[in-house]
A and B are shown apart, each in its own frame.
Chain A
Amino acid sequence: MNRISNAFGKKSEDKKALISFIMGGDPDIETTEKLIIAMEESGVDLFEIGIPFSDPAADGIVIQQASVRALSRGCTADDLLNMVKRLREKVTAPIVFLTYANSIFAYGKERFMERCKDCGVDGVIVPDIPYEEKDELAEVCEKYNIAQIAIIAPTSNERIETIATHAEGFLYCVSTLGVTGIRDEIRTNMTEIVNKVRKVSSIPCAVGFGISTPEQARDMASVSDGAIIGTALVKIIAEYGRDSVEPIKQFIARMRDAVK
């Protein structure tokens, strides 16, 4: 968990975190591995790696298709765990898995977290485990020191306090209703949401969903502790495939300039 808090820097530095999401194994494991290394060089502070799932009900079409591409190449949780283990020789930034509950459940909760620890995974974000079902993973996460990263949505309202009080690692603040995907405009008042969190917790808040331009990233990071870029990266990977390392580096560099 120390790696995660380091990503957000010390409060006095007021450094904002740049967080990337890409789908593991899209278009293949080798490319994912190269992308993570390249993105760390370009200034990403924390990596979210998706475990592809057959039924990603919280994702928009871009990430759904990335899941399909990864699965069609036979990408499994084991492949991604092994990949993280290899990456740990070169990458110091925290790495968390973004995975639906069933991938962990089918693997075996205990075995999954044990392997996460062994391979150097720092946390898990499980979009279909809300606060009410947190206990599904709480015990095994604690046992293996894997942060179970909580999510706050624009509809959370009076739930924010409870969720924030029990949150670990960082808090994933969803900026818009609906599923993952690019939005022209983010209308949710993130300042208000982050302030509600601040009342009960000093946990870092990162804003995700809908961010595709440096301006959006800057705006979201300015009212929180960091910005999460997902669909925009996955779109570039969909377009360039194995040749996406360079365009992703350029894109991240622009985002890094904006998120300070």
Chain B
Amino acid sequence: MSDSRGKFGEYGGQYVAETVMSSLKELERAYLFYKEDGAFQAELKGLLDDYAGRPSRLYFAEKMTKDLGGAKIYLKREDLNHTGSHKINNVLGQALLAKKMGKTRVIAETGAGQHGVASATAAALMGLKCEVFMGKEDTERQALNVFRMELLGAKVHPVTSGTMTLKDAVNETLREWASRLDDTHYIVGSAVGPHPFPVMVRDFQKVISEEIKAQMLEMEGRLPDAVIACVGGGSNAIGAFYDFVEDKEVRLIGCEAAGLGVDHPKNAATMANGTVGILHGMKSYFCQDVYGQIAPVYSISAGLDYPGVGPEHAYLADTHRAEYVPVTDDEAVDAFNYLSRTEGIIPAIESAHAIAHARKIAGAMGKDKIIVVNLSGRGDKDVASIARYMGVDIHE
């Protein structure tokens, strides 16, 4: 799906400072080597199975299916992974790779804190030093995750530049990496950034779609009609889509954060509102003005509050292999409540965007149809902010 220089059509590439180019080359060489290395792959599989709890379950949401009255809904339970989201898949892969490369320190950006927590976890397990960069606004929205990272032995740096959210955390982590390359690996948290990150992160996340396919064939004897996932940078979505890309009969639907509305200034709907640009090492779609200044985007979900999208998604959108739809804060919060009450599963507010879209389309689909929703994370981290959103005063 990508050429040797990491381009997906015109998207992707290596738009970074010369200072980090040698490290990207070193990483690419190591990745290509260990990708084919049986011992590495066996060690990683051991970690994914025994430590992270893979394979994750594919759960038939019977009550939700009955309630919506259409397509059968299955939930891919990435929320049940260790650390509570799909992020651990990528982090275990990259941390193991970093260790094999002789790195002793990892750095990471984080939005909601899920990737930071996963990075801190993997670093603790593998004996690596870990420092996490997180927008100051996000450290406040997700204070519990900050403490969680500190419990795991990581140092958290609140980022005060720019809009103080995920994009600025990425800028700051890139700056930190450029200043200390020898002993440090940057664990990029989503399918974004310069080559080889989008390819590598996708490869570490594609286990999601491989498992869905096998589980679906076993449970239903056929492929699903649609796979739905939320998209910020797009790592859980590319993981859930990838093994189905060649199966043209499977609709692939990415749900991006429309915040207060896709036509309202406060949104993060990159595919709906973005144009092609260059940021964070890649060419892709970005929310920006006519002069290329990156827009201060907004979503209730810190994890989807990103003005860009991974280059492979840009390519899947252009080639019409995947569709991307906007979901508002209100719709996501409704879905958050809905899944909690209907299935007894509190989803991450990010994943609730995908649930919201399933609710929109399931009823109009026949009962013989099947939708798989990638439930990318659990919602424990969001309980306090949802309470605030709903105007409920809780004292912790």
| Interchain CB contact (< 8 A) of B21 among A54, A130, A178 | A130
Chain A residues with CB under 8 A of B23: 155
Add 6 more A-B contacts to A102-B294, A132-B5 (CB < 8 A).
Answer: A57-B170, A102-B278, A103-B291, A130-B21, A133-B13, A178-B178
Chain A residues with CB under 8 A of B19: 153-155, 174, 177-178
Q: Which residue of B lies closest to A65 (CB)?
A: B161
**Residue contact B174 to A57, C-beta cutoff 8 Å:** yes
Chain B residues with CB under 8 A of A58: 17, 175, 178
List the 6 closest pairs (A to B, CB-CB), nearest first. Answer: A106-B292, A178-B179, A153-B19, A102-B292, A101-B278, A54-B293
B235 proximal to A (CB < 8 A): no
**Residue contact A128 to B294, C-beta cutoff 8 Å:** no
Q: Secondary structure of the B side of the interface?
A: mixed
B277 proximal to A (CB < 8 A): yes
Q: Which residues of B contact A (CB under 8 A)?
A: 5, 13-23, 161-162, 167-168, 170-171, 174-175, 178-181, 275-281, 283, 286, 288-294
Q: Which residue of B lies closest to A172 (CB)?
A: B18
**Residue contact A53 to B292, C-beta cutoff 8 Å:** yes
**Residue contact B290 to A128, C-beta cutoff 8 Å:** no
A29 proximal to B (CB < 8 A): no
Chain A residues with CB under 8 A of B275: 106
A43 proximal to B (CB < 8 A): no
Q: Which residues of A contact B (CB under 8 A)?
A: 53-58, 60-61, 64, 71, 76-77, 100-107, 127-133, 150-157, 159, 163, 174, 177-179
| Interchain CB contact (< 8 A) of A105 among B170, B179, B181, B278 | B278
CA distance A179 to B174 in the complex (A): 9
CA distance A160 to B180 in the complex (A): 20
Q: B336: shortest Cβ distance to chain A, in Å?
A: 31
Chain B residues with CB under 8 A of A102: 277-279, 286, 288, 292, 294
**Residue contact A57 to B292, C-beta cutoff 8 Å:** no
Q: Which residue of A lies closest to B289 (CB)?
A: A106
**Residue contact B18 to A153, C-beta cutoff 8 Å:** yes
**Residue contact A55 to B279, C-beta cutoff 8 Å:** yes
Chain B residues with CB under 8 A of A151: 17-18
Q: Can you show 10 pairs from A to B with CB atoms below 8 A apart? A: A54-B294, A64-B161, A102-B278, A128-B17, A130-B16, A151-B17, A153-B18, A156-B22, A163-B18, A177-B181
